[in-house]
Structure 1
Amino acid sequence: MSLTSFDLAIGLDATSLNTGMAELHSKHHDAVFTGRESTQFNGEQAVLTWDVKGAPTVVLSAPSQDEWDKATDAGGKRPPTTPLPSENVLRITLTNTDAALTNAGQTTSVTGKDIDVYGAVSAKDGKLSVTVLAVRLDTAGMDSWKAFFVQHLVIPHLVKAGGNALSQLTIPTQELFGEKLTLVPDQALITGTHLVLATAADIDGNATPDPLAAGFTWPDKPLWALFSRRLIEWVLDRAIREKALGKQQHFSQSSKPLTISADYRLRGYTGLRLAADSLTNAQATLDMAYGVNISPLGIDPDKCALFNATKSM
């Protein structure tokens, strides 16, 4: 899978994701990383609880065949019935996790376990979505009942915790552009080094970005953002319209023996485009209204022939 076009793409490497995960865990531990759920076991009501005590960590790669064969899917099948996934898959490790099932006055629990959750990423409803494919938890040393409890009761419920964790990370589009332009992430990609969220912008009724140039490569930085040329042009256009269009501007500078001053106003412009070979230079045809005054220092401009001669420049 690859991205062929986008207006805005944000990339995060594993270190950046893990920093975000640590902050998420610190601020929203109870809301995201703990759970209590009623379930049925042996025909009786039971309560399952879990608590991911450590900040989860992320690895941006698919599991090996050996890791996949030791995993359990949401239906309790080990190994999973689906083939080994290879694209757009990551691993979230739920660190130092406790889980307990209370049924008929008896409690069965596991504590301090690191649980690997394998998930496929996509963009859904404007957020990063993680579809949990399988979970791997080492049951070595457990008796048969506890291993059954973990495989068939704990793991299907921890699937939810693994899926919810990364889904909390979103592109802060409203912070970047306020209410002026709606950017909803609609593509997700794991490049091998980065998790990428990308979107197309609806600019003047056109939500189709130009294709990426031949030979395009992702930046080699921990955290980055890429903008399309048309999105940069849109931002420039809005900035000019809000900050300069129709507003009277004044300039004055004195240097012996002359004073030069100018009043000008941008009445309009057409054809705003970034230069073909640069993202920092733009071109446009301007409609300007301006007047330039030049006078010798200390002389009333209205009595100065030089001023009168240049007044209509």
Structure 2
Amino acid sequence: MEITMGILLLFIGFFSGAYGIIVGAGGGFIFVPALLILFNLSPQVAAGTGLTVVLLNALSGVVGYVRQKRIDYHLGFTLSIGAVPGTFLGVLLAKIIPSQSFYWIFATLLVALGVFLLLKKEPKSKAETAVSMDDIATRGKDSVSLNGDQAKDTKNPSHEEKKEIKTKILILFTGVLLGTVSSFFGIGGGWLMVPILVYLFRVIPRYATATSIFALCLYSLVGVVIYLFQGNIYWTAVLWGGLGVITGAQIGVYLSNRISGKMIIQMLSILLIGVGIKLFFN
């Protein structure tokens, strides 16, 4: 790789690292399209390389979020448990689906989600039902319920237990979806996880992004190990891009605490649409 390309990847990594941490998606959804466009890598190698960079990005960013106490650990662990089997499925799909189909599926998914987020209004009850920072930091073993609060029904314990079980099952299946999409495209599942946490589980965006990055650290590692054994990681790109995303992640953590939830969602939607359109013409 030429030094100029290395420096370019460094800057791309820095930008994608900062932006990815702010929106809770990891930097893969910028970095992987860059690999596909600039280096004409196969989808498998681009996915493996991108997922490795996502892991570095998430590990760097999660340190800052731990200090800010913005992570719902129970929710993150539960999502990751479901994501592990999904990760194996995603890697398998990446091997058998043709490259052209990969591009079209990837681009369509990005644009569709971006448009949805751009047009979707925040839930009206969000201010009343969203989980506060203290709840997220201290909840411990309690699960997020579908309406965003801890499930409490002292008059009917059986109803409470059923509701909690249904919620956990939903979170696990969400994790399977995220793991599959993450390892298939190599971009991490945060760009899909954040909207799900915000609109389905009523988690405040700034806490949803932190929890998303935490979960990425756990389940993306599984995908990286699989791609490593397959020999589908371009290590030179990981080196240059990794230096960028690690640095950019710290900037992203700093800025994310100063940006409104609405702006975070808007930033995510605009970038998804832009990257998706670019891939359509690749």
Q: TM-score range by the shorter chain?
A: under 0.3
TM-score (norm 1): 0.23
Relative contact order (alpha carbons < 8 A, sep ≥ 6): 1 or 2 greater? 2
Structure ID, larger Rg: 1
Higher normalized helix content (fraction of residues): 2
TM-score (norm 2): 0.24
Higher normalized strand content (fraction of residues): 1
